[in-house]
Each structure stands twice: as structure tokens, then as C-alpha cells.
Amino acid sequence: MIQPQAIDPIPEETVRVARAAFPKGNLYMTMRDEIGTLYNDQDFEALFPTLGQPAFSPWRLALVCVMQYIEDMTDRQA
């Protein structure tokens, strides 16, 4: 069972600190700035049963897989 979760905007303080730490940006900041939200729960809704325990948000899992691939990490590292 999936209970869609809204993707909250990035807090202003987090944006400020990230821009201070990475004035030229980085891959993940660019992804968010240029593409915005890559996935949302509705993209995966058909893959989940209507009954049972709530699933971990699939958009988060999908994003972890993308970042894991980019960083060339093992499943354990991710």
C-alpha cells in the first residue's frame, strides 16, 4: 500500500548553506534546480497493492538508486 507523500520545498536556510558551501553548485544542486522533482509517489502507484503495510516512499528509493549509480556505490554503501 502506498500513501503518497508530498515533496516539501527545500528550507531557505538549507538553500543558503548549500549555496555558501558550493558557490558553483554541484551535480545534485543542478539536478534539483534544472529538473526539479524527478519522481513522485504517483509515478509508482500502480506497482503497489491497495492493502497491507504502507511502503517506504518509492520516489526516495528511486532517487537513491540514481545517486548510487552516479557515485558508483555498492548497495551497502548507498
Judge whether 77 lies within some domain.
Answer: no
Judge whether 7 lies within some domain.
Answer: no
Q: Which three cell numbers stand for residue 29?
A: 544542486
Q: How many domains does the chain have?
A: 1
Judge whether 57 lies within some domain.
Answer: yes
What pLDDT band is residue 2 in, cutting at 50, 70 and 90?
confident
Q: Contacts for 51-55 with beta carbons within 8 Å, 24 or more apart?
A: 51/1, 52/1, 53/1, 54/1, 54/2, 54/3, 55/1, 55/2
pLDDT digits (tens, 9 = 90+) for 22-63: 999 999 998 888 777 778 888 888 888 888 888 888 888 888
Q: How many CB atoms lie within 10 A of CB 71?
A: 10
Judge whether 76 lies within some domain.
Answer: no
Whole-number Å distance between alpha carbons of 49 and 26? 37
Q: Which range marks the domain in which residue 22 is found?
A: 12-70
Q: Kindly tell me if the per-residue pLDDT of 71 is higher than 90.
A: yes
Residue type, 3: Q
What pLDDT band is residue 19 in, cutting at 50, 70 and 90?
very high
Judge whether 3 lies within some domain.
Answer: no
Predicted local confidence at residue 9, as pLDDT: 87
